[in-house]
Structure 1
């Protein structure tokens, strides 16, 4: 009788395979018999079905199947797997979408309740959920964002700054008309001061709304950055850590040895000639530069020249407080806007900031700089522009204009270019090289004297 039942089960599985097209995996299938079942019967069952021997508890899709009372040891494999995953999270990068799935997935909350030894109340992932969501900024493209509760404004969600008027589930796109804000609809729900701030938010010409992780310079999320954000890492002792680097004690061996440091020999001096490169007939070249002084005041400058090196137009201005990266992106944006106004294309964009070029290539940056980057990318998408890096020494004309921008702002035409700037443009036009070197030892002093003489000639 028992043998007949086993054959009936085997026959049912065979018909299931024929009807569904799905095959039974015998290697993963088992038969569980009673404790008093003889070895002869077990062998017969295994030979008929092709299945192996099994016993409780079983694991199906990671969960234990068991008979009788619940025991902690049935869940040991879940705890072990979770611990193994957690060990690598601090040093690994996750995409932003993966992070949202990780934090918001309901199964994670269920796991927290079921496996308390691993996910206790003090688990840092659980602790940072609400804090981390406040550090997510949104770039508006389609407007599929909550107008009141999503952080698409630099000052955070509107609901935290002004009372909710109208429907609380309004989307941002309802307040937009194409790539512009609908002023009438805005004024119907927000006060005038909030409306002015909203009007400054740029609606980006891209594909979909994009999330930005605010704590990182590139806007990309990583578990490491979240960890640093949570524990509020103190950088106040960074200068002291820098002192402990052996390379900073070259020449003071006796002092370094007392600290247990082994200073390396000073780096090799490299000297090379660099120059401003002329371009093909029909092209224009934009050289730009930005600087941020000690007090935090930034300025930008740039110059557009034709294929022969003759100046077409130049600019310089102060852009207020900000970082070097902001100044470098602002200089590029201002130069591209001027070129677009006067139709100076095709264009060769040449800057001395590899950081800015990498940001443009990656099309991704921090929350505060994303509006600037968006405007740059929009111009690049509709114009013929070649981009390249130039050494700072060969970018002397733009550097001079950026320094001029600290004190004044102006647009210069060829007749307005005089003095040192005119001399630099003349030297660039005839191909006079500049010296690029790492400043060290007597050779550096000789090179500095040479540069000083060139500066006198230019002036």
Structure 2
């Protein structure tokens, strides 16, 4: 029962899983080290070693609870660098694994990250003495701010903060998702009926034959027909009363009842046919509802307001990203206030989610502006979530928090503003991100752009709205 309903449970949470989730919360506060309790625990149990390796011979019950979830908790803790008081080898601040498991060398003395930070950035010479080149390159991409404190990030959280719910999701027992079980709990069905169907599928109903199979000897007779024994298939499928019910239900929903040897197959079939019938009967109402909404919007203003002629910005950067089959790519272009192209780019980012791909495309465009000496005053993206994250200054999930920190620093250096734009008005960057050119491409001249991007850029510069096709040939 202690599983989500789509995994065959009833949505209850086991006390064991919840106890471990609250123990993970204790470990989180212990690693933060901000409370008096955390400082006391550090002084008592952490003596010159990393918390992930501390061991005590005669430990209290609280410490044993912490040790039981220590490995899981450490695997989900990341660090967003500030002053750099983070263990260089054992904490996760560059990759998803600590550097001690990435770098193959026997000598690994204790360092903190701040020992590798110079006044003008990372001390590459010292880094090269301890880690290979690919790690040095990855470290150079990690931002830091010596004026801020290091921020601990809970990896499953979109806001970097620890929650017991997310810890429970990581710790809990899991089963494979079940299509039949997910169909047993529609919102339109009373919970008691769904619970009855759940018990029926698992043969948990106290029928005579079920009780007999479990060791309780008793006579059995069906209470509906008094002709056969009270078995699951007879009561709910093959008996005269059940057959009549199924005949009427199948006629109402338009399906033919099959000869099933297992009752577990029927609830899924019935739910599927019932949902199909409901969708058929509702489709007409949905269509006419959309038509009514369309008529009400026909006399209104434009749904998307495109940039007009009165533009006061000097340089504007547009960026966008595309994720296809898990592979992310981004594109963008820098233009002046007359719509003239300064440069455009396309870059692939590997396996990323949509928000990370959007932020990486924006960061790459800002870095190109910085490298080439351009100072955009306006930045536009079609991800409203990204605009809100950049503007709010919150610490997002890892490693997005590192990307956002660099984006904010570049925007502050440019004195540029970032705003949301609808996808229809961001068609040039949208099409650049989806061209699939491979690797990294730079376009310094207008005629170098793909034809479909050139068309969008011309229409955009003249303030003419374009049409976005579902399938476009580049």
User: Mapping of 1:131-170 within 5 angstroms?
Assistant: 131-161=72-102, 162=104, 165=107, 167-168=109-110, 170=111
CA separation in 2, counterparts of 1:417 and 1:277? 22
Richer in strand (by share): 1
- Please report the TM-score for the alignment, with normalisation by the length of structure 2: 0.58
Please point out which of 375, 378, 382 is paired with 1:345: 375
The residue aligned with 1:428 is 460
**Contact 1:397/1:425 (8 A) holds in 2:** yes
The residue aligned with 2:341 is 311
Q: Does 1:301 align with 2:241?
A: no
What do you get for the CA RMSD once the two structures are aligned?
A: 4.5
Larger Rg: 1
Please point out which of 350, 356, 361 is paired with 1:331: 361
Give the secondary-structure state (helix, strand or coil) at the position aligned to 2:159.
coil
User: Mapping of 1:234-273 within 5 angstroms?
Assistant: 236=177, 241=182, 254=253, 258=274, 266=286, 268=290, 269=293, 272-273=302-303
In structure 2, do the counterparts of structure 1 residues 239 and 314 end up closer, same or farther at CA, with 3 Å as the change threshold?
farther
Give the secondary-structure state (helix, strand or coil) at the position aligned to 2:149.
coil
- Structure 2 segments unaligned to the other structure (5+ residues): 1-14, 45-59, 189-251, 254-270
The residue aligned with 1:204 is 144
Report the number of matched residues: 339
**CA deviation after TM superposition for structure 1 residue 300, in Å:** 1.0
**CA deviation after TM superposition for structure 1 residue 98, in Å:** 8.6
In structure 2, do the counterparts of structure 1 residues 309 and 186 end up closer, same or farther at CA, with 3 Å as the change threshold?
closer
**Contact 2:328/2:349 (8 A) holds in 1:** yes
**Contact 1:315/1:410 (8 A) holds in 2:** yes
**Contact 1:275/1:432 (8 A) holds in 2:** no
In structure 2, do the counterparts of structure 1 residues 307 and 201 end up closer, same or farther at CA, with 3 Å as the change threshold?
closer
The residue aligned with 1:65 is none
Give the secondary-structure state (helix, strand or coil) at the position aligned to 1:373.
helix
In structure 2, do the counterparts of structure 1 residues 369 and 197 end up closer, same or farther at CA, with 3 Å as the change threshold?
same
Please point out which of 170, 185, 192 is paired with 1:229: 170
**Contact 2:339/2:460 (8 A) holds in 1:** yes
**Contact 1:286/1:349 (8 A) holds in 2:** yes
Deviations 1:358-382 (A, max 9, x none): 3323442222333322321220121
Please point out which of 377, 382, 394 is paired with 2:425: 394
**Contact 1:318/1:407 (8 A) holds in 2:** yes
The residue aligned with 2:315 is 284
**CA deviation after TM superposition for structure 1 residue 123, in Å:** 10
